[in-house]
Amino acid sequence: MPAQITHLSKSIKYALTSAAAASLAVSLNVSAQEEEPAAEETGPVEKIAIVGTRSAPRSVGDSAVPLDIIGAEEFAAQGSTDMMSMMSTVVPSFNVNDQPINDASTLVRPANLRGLASDHTLVLVNGKRRHRSAVITFLGGSLSDGAQGPDISNIPAAALKQVEVLRDGAAAQYGSDAIAGVINFALKDDADGGMIEARWGETMEGDGDTLQVAGNIGLPLTDDGFANFSMEYREADPTSRSVQRDDAAALAAAGNPDIENPAQIWGTPEIKYDFKLVGNFGLDLGNDNEAYMFTNWAEREVEGGFYYRNPHTRGGVYDGGIEPADLNGDGEIDEGEGHQLLLVGDITGDMSGNCPNDIRVGDNVLDNPRYIDEVANNPNCWAFNEMFPGGFTPRFGGVVTDASIVMGTKGYTESEWFYDISIGMGYSQIEYKIKNTLNPSLGPDTPTEFAPGTASQLDKNFNLDVSKEFSFDSLYEPLAFAAGIEYRRETFKQEAGDPASFAVGPLAFNPATGTSQGFGIGSNGFPGIKPEAAGEWSRGNWAGYVDVEAYLTENLMIGAAARYEDFTDFGSTFNGKLSARLQMTDTFAIRGAVSTGFKAPTVGQSNVINVTTAFVGTQLQDQALLPPTNPIAALKGGEPLEPEDSVAYSFGLVGEFENGLYLTIDYFNVEVTDRLSRTSAIPLTQDDIDSLLAQGIRDATSFSSVVYFTNDFDTTTQGIDVVMNYSNEVFGGDMKYSLAYNWTDTTVDDFNPDNINLAKVEMLEDNLPAHRATYTMNWSKEDFRALMRLNYFGDYYEDHVDAGGGLDIYPGAELTVDMEVGYFITDDFQIAGGAKNLFDNEPDLNPFAGVVGSKYPTTSPMGINGGFYYIRGVYTF
């Protein structure tokens, strides 16, 4: 080990740790995603990571666990404009797909690291825990159903110095949620200079126009500090990759003139505005002490589509039931046969209208003389065909607000103990909105636009961390010791929507008579949060950890960590981790780790009440999401939630060759027991509905089924990560090659078939592609540069629209090409243009496109929009 690395002075250690939280001391590594700064004659500049170890920084490849370091340049040189998509482009084991119609997941998309749920990854900013989003993914493509993770899309790329991705279980080091790994966003800390960037792009279909303006500036904070500010503004038009639904096409062919084409939009939602601000501050207090603070504020408004409501068959709005009939002429009335009837309401108030309940809709009810005479021209009777004759498709969205602040101080004591003490607070709020819909129970008096309520998450954190090196004659280097305590308090809150969004109107259940006219209750598609479902729930937890790392010999390093946590709502947990690295030759080293982990259920998951409209089989269905301790959920098998537990191990090979080639190959295996998910839809009987009504849940007559969160299955996820870097001279310029490959395989080891159907099992196992890879070539010469990236996505499985009803899709593998070229007009001004998915490759066609109108499989890992081209200009100063 080189002496300048082995024996770092106290002043060098302090300078390195001043860029990030000292609770996470530093190590060195490089990944396939790294864009290194310009090399000096003596060699490339090494980047410093603050995750994975608390020992002193070392040379490239010395980490005992897999670690990616992604430079800020990697985020700039691609077509994606949101952080979720940027991460998935440069880290193959990080997956995120479009969420065109998926309730709150449309507002905050769930992302997956190493094939696990979105809240199995711990997110840090400057080494400090990032707060959760208020969004619970009620529908998350099975893998992330019920997850409540952080919203990293609120972090602007302009604010980043680098991103570190620790691909290893780390709950023993960093706490709950770090089952899949840790992602740390390191913010810029320059005291001078800056940049301004403007970019515009659109898809090759001509939609999805996106405008983004970003900037960063570094300022001195007195003579001994910095104040670094970043901002980003973005807006994006929606896209549509839709075909006309079969049922809508049939209605139009039958003469209904009010059918939109397409009736239902599948595409990325409209981003009306997306504004982000970040500030990062540091001040040298002298005597090896520093004060720091970083803060962010972000707000965006998103609006997307929902499912089409057929004007003949949508339950609770148009569907009046089935009139038995022998339609196939076999002399018998079979289940499913019969004439579709129209739902008609009596709006007289005293039920004196004598309204019909036997009008057959036929091919087009608008042409039915009985409908015209007895409903449309009858002031005593009402059908929603009078308001929405062609049916309707709600537009769902909301305003997402996010803010956080962390402040603290760190440095060295006279006895050379390093300390870091900090407090932080993070807040996330979702204000839901829905329009072009109705509250059926209100009849003709219903509004068509609602504010269904608000959800918020407030996290408060306190950290005290200390570390020191101790010398022992028996050790090759001083033993690195770290310890700390943490207190965290989490609060989840639901606030009621506007009264019309949850009102039980006269066309619904009448408690005085015990009867109902059969109309649904609440804003259709996303009923408002009722006052009895509103509330605030909190929990706290204390944690303490110890972490040691030592070189027993020049070539053998071992590390150990242990962490104890105590939660106010489910008790305590203890987790540990062992890691080791052995340098076998000058070229090759082996490394490995084994750890236990856990993820505590959130207070939101334990208490949230929601009504979700989901596609089940071939029909839309209103599902009541109840707390697992609710009497009805308990009757259906619900139990209080428990932590998810994990056992993970990894081992790998690191190769650093004399010609500059860098190679790592790592195998990982993560067993998770008692995994938390949303159950499959459990049908409600009339007795169940009566029991809910007795509890005061007056909209229970609208429910078809119940779902709840449960610890109901176990999985084993294994895989291999391969990372390679190489550089040489090509055509008189510098060429850098990067390859990153990931193979991930998940097996559902055990599950409850009463709650989780086989389609969901297959989604858990195969919805993410087993094989993903990116290969990047980055060439530069003087003022010109060019980048090309190949993206490979393996085949996968999709249970189309989570129906669980036989809509199975098996799309094949795909290859896309990204390209960007740039030119420095002056030393300070650069223009660039490029394309994401240059050749406009599209996913395989959806064989069930006519069912709900989606042209492509909606969970395609490459996205559904095809190619996207863009131009950008960057001015640096």
Q: Quick one: pLDDT at residue 333?
A: 66
- Please say if the pLDDT value at position 149 is more than 50: yes
Could you report the per-residue pLDDT of 380-400, keeping only the tens digit for each?
A: 999 999 999 999 999 999 999
- Please say if the pLDDT value at position 29 is more than 60: no
- Please say if the pLDDT value at position 767 is more than 70: yes
- Please say if the pLDDT value at position 139 is more than 70: no
Between the CA of residue 598 and those of 121, 178, 538, 675, 814, what are the distances in Å?
A: 11, 8, 19, 10, 35
Between the CA of residue 49 and those of 127, 243, 271, 332, 361, what are the distances in Å?
A: 10, 47, 34, 73, 66
Closest listed residue to residue 717, CA positions, set 169, 66, 184: 169
Mean pLDDT of 503-528: 84
Q: Under a CB-based contact definition with an 8 Å cutoff, are residues 114 and 743 in contact?
A: no
Mean pLDDT of 438-464: 96
Q: Quick one: pLDDT at residue 373?
A: 95
Q: Which of 547-561, 619-633, 804-818, 829-843 has the lowest mean pLDDT?
A: 619-633
Between the CA of residue 722 and those of 62, 72, 92, 518, 662, what are the distances in Å?
A: 16, 22, 10, 58, 11
Cis peptide leading into residue 220 (ω within 30°): no
Which region, left, alpha or beta, applies to residue 223 given φ > 0 means left and ψ of -120 to 50 means alpha? alpha
Q: Quick one: pLDDT at residue 8?
A: 34
Angle at 9 between CA 4 and CA 14, to 5 degrees: 120
Mean pLDDT of 707-723: 92
DSSP-assigned beta bridge partners for residue 25: none
Q: Quick one: pLDDT at residue 812?
A: 96
At residue 775 the predicted structure's pLDDT band, cuts being 50, 70 and 90, is very high
Percent of the chain predicted with pLDDT > 90: 66
Name the more confident of 11 and 91. 91
Could you report the per-residue pLDDT of 75-96, keeping only the tens digit for each?
A: 887 778 788 888 888 887 888 8
- Please say if the pLDDT value at position 5 is more than 60: no
Q: Quick one: pLDDT at residue 758?
A: 87
Q: Which two three-digit tokens encode residue 259?
A: 């059918």
Percent of the chain predicted with pLDDT > 70: 89
Q: Quick one: pLDDT at residue 459?
A: 97
Mean predicted lDDT score pLDDT of the chain: 87
Based on the number of CB atoms within 10 Å of its own CB, is 526 exposed (0-12), middle (13-18) or buried (19 or more)? Answer: buried
Q: Please give the helix or strand (H or E) that residue 325 lies within, else none.
A: none
Name the more confident of 334 and 765. 765
Q: Which amino acid is at 258?
A: D
Q: Quick one: pLDDT at residue 374?
A: 96
Residues in the chain, overall count: 877
Q: Under a CB-based contact definition with an 8 Å cutoff, are residues 492 and 457 in contact?
A: yes
Q: Quick one: pLDDT at residue 18?
A: 36
What is the CB-side half-sphere exposure of residue 844 using CA atoms within 13 A? Answer: 15
Q: Quick one: pLDDT at residue 735?
A: 95
DSSP-assigned beta bridge partners for residue 538: 491
At residue 327 the predicted structure's pLDDT band, cuts being 50, 70 and 90, is low
Q: Quick one: pLDDT at residue 51?
A: 65
Could you report the per-residue pLDDT of 669-698, keeping only the tens digit for each?
A: 999 999 988 887 788 888 888 887 787 777
Q: Quick one: pLDDT at residue 43?
A: 37
Name the more confident of 287 and 248. 248
Mean pLDDT of 559-583: 94
- Please say if the pLDDT value at position 17 is more than 50: no
Q: Quick one: pLDDT at residue 511?
A: 64
Mean pLDDT of 99-117: 80
Q: Quick one: pLDDT at residue 140?
A: 57
Q: Quick one: pLDDT at residue 431?
A: 96
Mean pLDDT of 427-435: 96
Mean pLDDT of 210-232: 97
- Please say if the pLDDT value at position 158 is more than 70: yes
Angle at 702 between CA 341 and CA 532, to 5 degrees: 160
- Please say if the pLDDT value at position 761 is more than 50: yes
Mean pLDDT of 571-599: 94
Q: Quick one: pLDDT at residue 512?
A: 65
The reported pTM is 0.89
Q: Quick one: pLDDT at residue 22?
A: 34
Q: Which two three-digit tokens encode residue 797?
A: 């499985």
- Please say if the pLDDT value at position 7 is more than 80: no
Between the CA of residue 606 and those of 121, 131, 136, 432, 682, what are the distances in Å?
A: 20, 18, 11, 21, 18
Could you report the per-residue pLDDT of 230-250, keeping only the tens digit for each?
A: 999 999 999 999 999 999 999
Closest listed residue to residue 591, CA positions, set 53, 19, 36: 53
At residue 804 the predicted structure's pLDDT band, cuts being 50, 70 and 90, is confident
Helical H segments across 100-184, by residue range: 171-174
- Please say if the pLDDT value at position 746 is more than 70: yes
Cα–Cα dist 580/594, whole Å: 9
Give me the residue label for tokens 């081209």: 869
CA 147 to chain CA mean position, Å = 8
Mean pLDDT of 22-48: 38
For 82-100, give one letter per residue: b (16+ CB within 10 A) or e.
bbbbbbbbbbbbbbbbbbb
Closest listed residue to residue 148, CA positions, set 104, 89, 88: 104
Q: Which of 137-141, 440-444, 514-518 has the lowest mean pLDDT?
A: 137-141
Q: What share of residues in the chain are helix, strand, coil (percent, to 5)?
A: 15, 45, 40
Q: Under a CB-based contact definition with an 8 Å cutoff, are residues 405 and 293 in contact?
A: yes
Could you report the per-residue pLDDT of 658-671, keeping only the tens digit for each?
A: 999 999 999 999 99
Residues 6 or more apart whose Cβ sits within 8 Å of residue 685: none
